[in-house]
Structure 1
Amino acid sequence: MVAVAMFDVQVACCSRSIPVGPGCKFRSPFRPPAAGGRARRLQVRIVCSAPGSTNGRPGGGVDRAAETFNGSSMSDDISVKNPANYAQQEQRPRKKTVPASGREIPEGEDPFRLLENGQKVYLDELDVISLLEPPTYLRPHQSFNYNHAAFLWKKIGDIPEERRHRLLDLLLPRQITKLWDIAGLRYDDPDLFVEDAGGLISKPALQNPGKPIVWDGRVTNVPWYYTPFSRFQKVFFSKSGKVFGRVKTGGYLLHGIQGKVAPLYFEVQQVDQVMATDEFCDLVFEYGDGQLHLKGSLPSGFPQPVTHLPPFNDKLCDYLRAVGPGVVVGQGWIEGLDLEQIPRRLFGEFVMIQKYE
C-alpha cells in the first residue's frame, strides 16, 4: 500500500530523496540554496511504502491510490510535478485566433494581425521579425546550448514558400544588417545545415538547366543616385555544370535599358570566407569582367553580356550567408584589380528571397 501526503514546509536545504521515517521518503526536485541563503517555503510530497513493497509499489497486484492525509485521493494530485492539477482539467476547445480588427480568421487561413496602418501581417512573419530584435524576456539566460541562427532558420521554414517574399517589405534596414550577424552564429556549429547552405542557390539551377530561377532582393544604405538598385532581382541559370546569374534592377521601365547597358552577369561559387574580413560565408557572386564568355549561349530572352561599368568593373564580389530555406543575406565588396587597393563595401547588406511560382 502507498500513502501520499502533501505538506507545506519551511526548508533551508533539501536533496531529491531524504528518509523521514520507516518506509517514508521526502522528495523534492529543488536544489539546495547557496550557503547562507534564505529558506524557501515549498510544497513537498512524502511517499510511504507498506512493508514488502518496492519504491512505493506493492509487491504484486494492481497499484491502488491510497487516501491522502486530508481525505482526498491521488487523483487530486497538485504536487510540484503537477502544480495546477492539469490532468483533471476539462479539455476546452481552442478559440479561433482573432486579429486586432475583431473579425474571425476565415477557415483555412493562417493566423494574422492587422496593424494600425491596415497592413495585414501573418504571425509566422512576426515571429521572424521578433527574433531579429528579441525582447529581453525572450533571450536565453544561458546560451551555451542555444543557437539563435538555428532557431531563426526553423522559423523562416515555418513560413509558406509563397509568402516568404513578404519579408522584403517587413524588414527594416537595421534588421537586414542583423540578419548577417545572426547568420554568422550558424558557423559556431560545423554540422548546422551545412548540406543546405552552399547549394541553396546552386542546386535549383543545376536541377532545372533550362529554367531560370528568380530571387527578389533588397539592399540597404544605397545613395540617392543608386536608388534604382535598392530593389532588384537576380536570375540564375546553369551552363556546363556551372551556375551563373544576372542582376535586374530599376523597375519595369528601366529593365530594357539596364539589360543593354549593364546586364551585370556573375558566376556563383562556393567559398567559406569573405576575402576582406575573413568572416565565414557560404557563397560568392564573382562579377569579373562581365562574364563575356557567355555570349551566344544564354537562355532565351537574356541580353548579351557587356563589360561592366564603374563601380561594378573593379572586381566586384557579393558574399552570401544562408539564413533559412529560400532566404540568404549578403554583402557587396569592391576588392579592386590593383593588388595594393584596399577593399571597400558597396552599399550595405542585402537580403534575397527565392521567388516561387
Structure 2
Amino acid sequence: MSLAENTNISIEKIAKSRIDSIDFENLKFGTTFSDHMLVCHYKDGQWGDVQIKPYGPMSFEPSINVFHYGQAIFEGMKAYKDSNDDVWLFRPRENWKRFNKSAERMEMPQIDETRFVDGLKTLLNLDREWVKPGQGNALYLRPFMIGTHPGVVAGPSSEFMFCIICSPARTYYSGKVKVQIAEHYSRAANGGVGYTKCSGNYAGQFYPTKLAQQKGYQQVIWTDDATHTKLEEAGTMNVFFRIGDTLITAPTSERILDGVTRKSLLDIAKSKGIDIDVRTIVVQELLDAHAKGELKEIFGAGTAVTIGQIEGFAYQEKFYSLPEIADENSFAVQLKNSLQGIQQKTVEDIFGWTEKVEKK
C-alpha cells in the first residue's frame, strides 16, 4: 500500500510559503529549508502515524537520549527537476536500506519502506516548487532519527523520532581542494560504527579537519586506525585514485561507508570501459605513483558534492601536486557529467536508478 492510500497520514500545509523570499542563486549549503517537514514517532514498540507539517522548531525535554548518549542517524539524498518540471529521486531505496543498517548498529528501530520512501515522495510533492531545474540545482534531503526517551540512564532509548527536512542546494564545492593525509587521527575503527551514518562519526572529524584547515587544507584523507597507512575516505566522502588508467577505491568495510554515489560511479565507470580496481591502497603506493608520474587524479564522491576533485595532498609536511588534466581526459569529469546527467534526466538512465515523484 502506498502512503497516498494510507489514511494514517496527516498533512498540515503552511499558511504562506517562504519561497519568494529565498535567493536561489546565492544559497549557502544546508542553511535554507523548504516549507514542510515529515515527522513520525516510535513508541510502545511501533511506529505511529506520519505527519507532514510546516518546518519549524521542536520542543524536547533536556534529558532525552540523543542529547546524552548520541543515538542519532541520518541519510543524505537529493531530488532533481527535469526540463518537463517533473521531480525525480535517485536510488532512494538504497538510502532506505542503509538507514536501517545504521539503525540496527545503533540499537534503533527499523523504519518501513512506506514511511521512508513513500513518505518522502508525499513531502516532495508538497514542496516540489523548492526543487529548481538546471545544472547544479537540487533539493538536498535529510532523513534522520533520534532517541527521544527522557532520562539519563545509560542505555538505548525506547522512543524515537523519524524526520525528513529539505534544503535547496547548488554546487557544494566551487573548485578543486587540497587535502592532508591523516597520520594520527582516525575516522573509524574495526568493530566500531564507521560504516554507519551516525552523527558521532561526523562530530569526531571536526577537530582534525580544523587542524588541517589551519595549515591551508580543506579536507583530510583518512587512514586506518591501526597502521595509518591504508587510504580510506576523504573528508565525509568515499575516495578514488587514478593511477595510470586504472581507477582504484578501497572496499567497503566496518570502517568505510557504503556510499550510494560510490557504487553508482563504479557501475558507470564499468559501463564506460574504465579499468576498476576495488582494493586496499596504501600511502607508499600513492607516493611511488606520484614519483613515477603515474598518479593522475584523486577525487571524493558523495551525495552533497557528487564528485569533489583534489588538486594535491600533503603528507609528512610535504605537498604533492597533481597534474592538470583536460576535462575530456579526466575520469572525475566524465563520471560526474554522466552521473549528474542521469540524476537530472538529461541522459538516458540505463541503470533504472531514478524514481519519479508523481504529482497529486
TM-score (norm 1): 0.25
Structure with larger Rg? 1
* Higher RCO (CA < 8 A, seq sep 6+): 2
TM-score (norm 2): 0.25
